[in-house]
A = this chain, B = another copy of it.
Amino acid sequence: MNHSGDISSKLRRRGYRLTPQRMMILEAVEAADGHISADEIYARVCDRYPHLNISTVYRTFELLKELGLVTETDMGDGRVRYHSIRKGHHHHLVCQNCGCIIDLDEAVLLPLKDALFRDYGFDADLKHLAIFGRCSKCR
């Protein structure tokens, strides 16, 4: 269940370091079931390791994103949320009226991804996406 080994080497191979802060933040993201905000991670890690700065949390997420270990989604509620990539790709339909969130299968977006690649040579990063609109109830 513990992946700190391969993450550690993944970091080191690129010249990054595995610090206690990073370990604890990564652990907390893996432990979280679902999408979690920087604030929430900060609060959870602070319980056990009080001397942590919120900016370190943001910078760690930046790094984890770069390494492809987490994805970032803006659900439109004013705070960005993060999600471990090991828990699978998925997307969201966010209703602008009632705020409900519908999980979306990746397959629906594949035709778009293909079209962008074919027509524009653009490799779209659709790992995590939120599409806004109106759900069936609110239409």
**Chief secondary structure at chain A's binding surface:** mixed
B108–A131 CB distance below 8 A: no
Residues 30-71 of chain A, each 1 if its beta carbon lies under 8 Å from chain B, else 0: 000000000000000000000000000000000000000000
Q: How far is the CB of A21 from chain B (nearest CB, A)?
A: 24
For A138, give the chain B residue with the smallest CB separation: B123
Of the listed residues A74, A123, A139, the one surrounded by the most CB atoms of chain B closer than 10 A to its CB is: A123
A11 within 8 A of B: no
Contact partner of A122 (CB less than 8 A), chosen from B124, B125, B134, is: B134
The interface of chain A, by Cβ under 8 A from chain B, is 74, 93, 95-96, 102, 104, 108-109, 111-112, 115-116, 119-126, 131-136, 139
